[in-house]
Every structure is written in structure tokens, then in C-alpha cells.
Structure 1
């Protein structure tokens, strides 16, 4: 029992100290070492070099291209003016009478196309502020509106999204980015519908407030915010607010790369890769793996690389500092992947302790005969404690993924259903107040947790949680589709 308490203390300290701004690169190995020392369950140096670093390195080896290419793609979309053009176009088409819907859809389109949620927040906020002021909607609802479009259904539910939350389950379950497409779409619609209902209700209830007295000064990330928000998404030091190009691209050119990300992803997943000769993957030099384990990663890499080439080709003159944009995007990918990988290493060390066996058996048994329930609970709790959707998911899958896969095989559950439940489950408790994306979004909007967090939590925590229940129910009754 004492060893279990040590593990819980380590997780609690991870959550608290990360919120206080201490780097996960320091916290994760330090607290993993603390757990080994306190339980006296294994050699300290051996646990660090062979378990922590081994798991950390494996994660970086597998996912670094996705982080790298996604970061560069988002930076080029921002610097070319494409992100701003798309946001303004959608908002212009829908008008101020549908201000909240316009902001949600503009955020959703860009994040579903592969643009980082941080880039989206920077691009959309100034337009949303002007639109909300014109429509006299309380400013306190802007963070929730942006969060609904950027943090929820496009990140976890919609099939084909290149978000890292949709990529991480693929090697564990041998799935593709389009896992359980029907269930994913239904879940996304439930999430979107519940969020919009809440925003509409709050806008009517707070109508007497109006927009409020807010100066809406330009946001400049300060040192403390950079440190506290870097665990999720981009390093804000690499995302300065810059002057937009003089001649922005057309709406068609701005939207083309986003459409291509999804289309090329789909093409490689179901047409090109299945026709390739991949027998070489069984050789030791290629890791003795199978195409099912790498198909999803290959598809996302191909989609992002080709879409990047299109962004550059059609925006050559709008990117006079192309080298700097690419460098900034590449640099911005390093801190997020190392933070997430460190959390994976922490989870691997915890999983090596004897007391974790009891925790594992308890968690696995929470859903009774339904592994989908215990999988959802495990991912949600770990995402909440780490303040990171990708970090919580990675710990859960690295420690319990094989167990859930075995349970799924025994019960005839499609791995695609495991994939979609895992992805959607990350979008619940990860939105607790210490989450880096939450901290950053509120800072961009110039609002405090007290002013705006309640509504943000309703659309980015409660709505995804309710949609997860719908997903598990439908998946249990009808299976994956």
C-alpha cells in the first residue's frame, strides 16, 4: 500500500510542479527517480538509462516527424497569411449574427487541416474580439468559443485529423488516422452540438453584460507564460505576433493545403501504401515490424510533406523569410516532443514498479467486462494529471496498451474502436486549469481563469466527456463502423 501511495504522490507532484512552471524535462526524470528510490524497487541508474531513456527515445524515434512537420506547416500557414485569410473569410461569410458559430468553424477548419491550435488562437483571436464587440457578445465567451473549435472534436474525434492525439494510438493498435470513421463523425457532431448549445445559452443569459470594457491590446507572450504553456503544442518563443503579408493569398489558395492534408492522408492510407511492397519491414534492420504498425505514421508524414510543398510553392513571394519560418517551426517542435517523450519515460519507470501491477489490475477492472470503459477512465485521469492530452495518452498506452489490445482480441473488439475511444478520452480532463493550452488561450484573450474558465471547461471538458459516453455506448452496442 505504501508503494502505491508513492506512485500517487509522484503523479500529484508532477501535476502541481508542472503548473508552477517547472520544466517537464526536469520533473519527469526527477520524479521517476524519486519513485524508484522511495519504493526501493529497482536500481536507480539502471531505471534511468535503460527504462526512462529507452522509452523516451522510442517515442521520439516514432513521432518526431509528425511533431516536426506539423510545427513547420503551422508556422508557414501563419507567416504566409493563410490562417488569417481563412479565419476572416469564414467569419465574413457567416456574419456577426452568427459570431460564435463563425469563430468555431474557422478554428475547426484550420485545426482539422493540421494547423496548430496555438497558431489558430493567435490568428483568430483579434478577429473574434472585433466580431464579438460588434455583436455585443460578452468577451468572456471568446476563449470557450475558440476552444470548442480548436481543442475538441477536430483534435480527437474527426477521422483523418493529423493531430498528434490521433496519431499516437496508431502503432499500438495497428490502425490508421481514419479509425472508426462513422463513430468519429457522430462523436464530433455530439461534441460540436453540445458546445454550441452551451455557448448559445450563455450568450443569452449574459446578454445584459454586453462585450464589456476591454482594451483588447496586442498579446505578447512573456517568459512565465512560455514556461507554463510549453508542455502542450508549440514553444511560444517561436511564435511571435508578426505583421501579415501585404498581399495575402486568396481564400482558395489558403484553404488548398488544409484540404490536401486530409485528401493525401486518405489516399496514402487506403490506396498507395496498401499497394506497396512492404515485406522488407520484417527484416531486423527495419525493426521486424509490419505495415499495420507504421501505415498511419507514413500516411501523415506524406500528407504533411506534400502539403508543405504546396504552401511554399503557392506562397513563395509571401514568404520572404522562408528559411527563418522553417527554422522557427522546426525549433518550435523540439520542446513539445521532448516534454511528451519525458512523460512517456516517466510512465515506463512507474510501470516497471511492482506496485503498478495492482494499480493496473484495478484500472483494468473498472469497466467490468467492457475494456472500453476502463481505457477511457485511465486515459482521462492521466491526461488530467499531466495536463497534457498527448502525454496522458502516451503514458496510458505505453503502460496498458498491450493489455487492452489483448482484452480486445479476447472479446472481439475492433482495434479501431480502441483507437477512437483513446483519442476522444484525451479531450476531457486534460483541460483542467493547469493545462498549457488553457493558460495560453486565456493569456492571448487577456482574461483570467475566474472570468472565462467555467465556460471553457463546459465546452472543452464536459461536452467531450458526454460525447465519450455516447461513443462507448454506440461502440459497445454496434461495434466499430
Structure 2
């Protein structure tokens, strides 16, 4: 009982600290220490009973394991996004989307621009920085409340794109190494679910914006907004799509190397799995450098920012994974895990509930998957769950309750990118990144049961 109270209190404290602006690298280990103290775990290895875990070792084991598994993806993804931004390619693609959708549909234009960049392989953190200036311009011209900009960015980035079949985001790749699947697992169902999430989410966002306008809310200009209009000469949008399409194309080829007989001589004999993304992002970086040749003087700085951003992004996630690793040792967590594994009915439902709960506890979709899958996947596969269906269920489930207020992406998008407060921006963002994915998850499971 004391362990359960400590686990819940630690999670609540983690949410509170991150909402208050405490850095996750400080908040996560501090809250993990609360879990350790209330669970009777030793804090240092010499104090631990032989064969039992301790706080310091367990936290760093989770931290370093995630870092080792995903560093190259974070590094190349961040560099790719920064090169796309420095070359003007990201802004060109975003403005091209805006030009075709129009100011009349300003909210849809922001969502579409974020979705296109995300599905093209640009890190969700970079997408926010790239699209935000265009969002400010559109919301100002349309006189829309700017507190909805974080919701529009997040909806386009971390819902129907991040966990869909074929997405090069790591939330769609982590299940591969545990389930033996590929990034396109259960794509027909994924396509239907993504369509529902995109349509329903946009309707909800549009209604929330309209209701706010009816109450008299308008765009509030801030100092520095004018700087977002100072764009250099941008490359043609169609040319700027080439690096994005290359990432998707190379990723697809290396997932199914035998699918193109004419290129069999140039491709590996087997799928590269998650490492296909490393090659795809590398190819995308080279093409993005070519597209941005006129901005070559800015490229060294882009590489530097990308490297720094990658370290920040991955260590933030590692910090949360470390918290989850310590939480996984607590008696309360083990009892909860046993209860989740023993849920009656379809294994997909049990997997969905388990991953959703663990992602909520860790505040990270990728962190939640990394903790949950090694523990849960073998049992669910033995119970007869289809690997492809389990992959898609886990991916979608991880992208729901992970978006609680303490999630690193949520904090970065609301505060660092958009300069808003949780009080103003999170209600809309929470509806779109928690409620909509939960409905999509229910649809996915329902369709799998009917198949």
C-alpha cells in the first residue's frame, strides 16, 4: 500500500514539477528517488541486497539503454530538421501548403504543414520550430486566438502521423525489435484509424477555435512577432519535397528490400529494421544540403544546432525512461503489471491498457514502449496475438496518455516554442492528443477483432 501511494505521489510530483518549469533532468531522478524511498529500494549498489536492484543503477540502466538504442536516429533526425530549416526548405514546404489551402482555412493549413513535415521524417520538436512562424502569421491574419497554436502544431505532429504505418518517427519503430514486424504493420487498419483521427481532431479543433472567437477572443500580438515575417528567398516548394520523399522512399526500400526486383543488386538481402531510418535520414540530409546550397554558409551552424538539439531531446526522454525503470522495480508497479497481464479477453485489449498506463506513468510514448514491450510482448505473443496487430495497437496506445502535462514534447511546444502557459494552451492540446488517440485506439482494436 505504501509503495502504491509513493508511486502515485511521485507521478503527481513529476507532473507538478514539469508544469512549474523544473527541468526534466532534475525532476525525473528526484521523483524516481521518491519511488525508491517508498518501495524500500536501496539508493546505492553497495547498500543493495545481492540480486536486488537499487535506485542509482536502475535509473542509469534505463537512461543509458534508451540512449544507446536510439542516439543515431535522434542525431540524424535533428540534423535533418535543422538543415531543412536553415536551407528554407521547411518554411517553403509549409508556405506551399498554406498557399494551396488558403488563409480561410488557417488552422487546417498549420495542421497540414506539421503533418507533412512529421511524416517526411522531420523530428516532431523541429517541426514545431519550423511551422510556428507560419502559424503566427496565419493566426494573426485570420485574427484567431493564438493560444490554439500549440494544439494545431501538436495535432499535426503527434497524433495521426506519429503512430501511423510507415511513419519514420521512433514511436512507430520501437515495436519492430520486440515483435519482429516492420514499420508498415497492419497498414490497412492504420490508414482507417489515421483518417478518423485526422477528421475528428480537425473538427474538434475548428469548433474550439470558433467558440473562442464567439466569446470575443482575438489574436494578441506580441513583441517579436514581426520577426517571423522576415524570410529569405526560399527554394521552390516542389524541390523542397525531394528530401522528405527521399526519407520515406529509402525507408520503404530498406524495409522491403526484396520488393523491387530490379534493384535487388543494390539493396541488402534482408530488412534493416529500425536502422533503415538511419540510412534514410542520412540520404535526406545529403539531399537537403543540395536543396539549400545557396544557404551553405548557414549549414555548419545547422549541424551544430542539430547535434545539440538531439542531445537535449534524447536525454530528456532518457530521464523519463530512467524514472520508469525505477518505477518498474516498485512492488506497486509489479502488482499493477501482473493485473494488466492477467486481464481477461483479447490480448490486444490487455496490451493497449498496459501500454497506455505505462506511457502515462512515464510521460513518454517512446519511453513507455521501451519499458512495456520487453515485459509484455513475449506473453502476449504466446497468448496468440498477431504481431502486426499488436504492433499497431501498441504504437497507437503509446500516443494517448503519454501527452499528459509533464510530457517533454508538450512542455517544449507550449512554453519554449509558443510562449504560452499550460492553463491557456493545454486544454485544447490535451483533447486532441489524448482523447482523439484514445478513440482511434478503440477503433483499431474493434477493427482487429472483426478481421
For the residue of structure 1 that corresponds to 2:165, the secondary structure is: coil
Give runs of aligned pairs for residues 248-327 of structure 1, distance below 5 A. Answer: 248-271=234-257, 295-327=272-304
| Match status 1:132 vs 2:108 | no
3-state secondary structure, aligned to 1:168: helix
Aligned to 2:366: 390
Does structure 1 conserve the Cα–Cα contact (< 8 Å) formed by 2:243 and 2:288?
yes
Q: Does 1:55 align with 2:62?
A: yes
CA distance in 1: counterparts of 2:418 and 2:20, whole angstroms: 21
Distance of 2:219 and 2:10 partners within structure 1 = 43
1:357 aligns with 2:334: yes
- Please say if residues 376 and 425 of structure 1, whose CA atoms lie closer than 8 Å, have aligned partners that are also in contact: yes
Residues 155-174 of structure 1 mapped to structure 2, 5 A cutoff:
155-156=162-163, 158-174=164-180
Secondary structure class of the residue paired with 1:320? helix
Offset, 1:359: 1.8
- The CA distance in 1 between the partners of 2:29 and 2:425, in whole Å, is 34
Given that 1:114 and 1:261 are in contact with CA atoms closer than 8 Å, whether structure 2 keeps it comes out as yes
Change (3 A) 1:405 1:469: same
Q: 1:90-109 residue pairs with structure 2 within 5 A?
A: 90-109=97-116
Matching residue of 2:51: none
Q: Is the 8 A contact 2:84 2:90 kept in 1?
A: yes
Q: Distance in 1 between matches of 2:367 and 2:338?
A: 21
Does residue 412 of structure 2 align to residue 440 of structure 1? yes
Residues 179 and 419, structure 1, Cα contact 8 Å, conserved in 2: yes
Pair 204,55 (structure 1): closer, same or farther in 2 beyond 3 Å: closer
The alpha carbon displacement at 1:116 in A equals: 2.5
Structure 1 vs Structure 2 CA RMSD: 2.9
CA distance in 1, matches of 2:233, 2:368: 42
Q: Give the conservation status (yes or no) of the 8 Å contact 1:29–1:346.
A: yes
Normalising by structure 1, report the TM-score: 0.82
Deviation at 1:336, TM superposition (A): 2.0
What is the TM-score with the length of structure 2 in the denominator?
0.87
Measured against aligned partners, the alpha-carbon deviations of 1:340-390 in whole angstroms (never above 9, x if no partner) come to 223333333333445543221112234x22232232223323333433332
Alpha-carbon distance in 1 for matches of 2:22, 2:258: 44
How far, CA to CA, are the matches of 1:385 and 1:343 in structure 2?
A: 9
Q: Distance in 2 between matches of 1:161 and 1:248?
A: 27
Shift of 1:83: 1.0
Q: Which residue of 2 aligns with 1:176?
A: 182
CA distance in 2, matches of 1:118, 1:346: 22
Instruction: Deviation per CA, 1:124-171: give whole Å up to 9, x if none.
Output: 233233323433444443332222212211111x21212121122221
CA distance in structure 1 between the partners assigned to 2:63 and 2:418 by the alignment = 34
**CA distance 1:244–1:416, change in 2 (3 Å):** farther
Q: Is 415-424 or 211-220 further displaced after alignment?
A: 211-220
Residues 18-97 of structure 1 aligned to structure 2 (within 5 Å):
18-41=18-41, 44-45=44-45, 47-48=54-55, 50-97=57-104
- Residue 223 of structure 1 is matched in structure 2 by none
Distance 1:145 1:337, change over 3 A: closer
8 A contact 1:160–1:178 mirrored in 2: yes
**Secondary structure of the equivalent of 2:245?**
helix
CA–CA separation in structure 2 for the residues paired with 1:36 and 1:257? 46
Inter-CA distance 406–433: structure 2 relative to 1 (3 Å threshold): closer
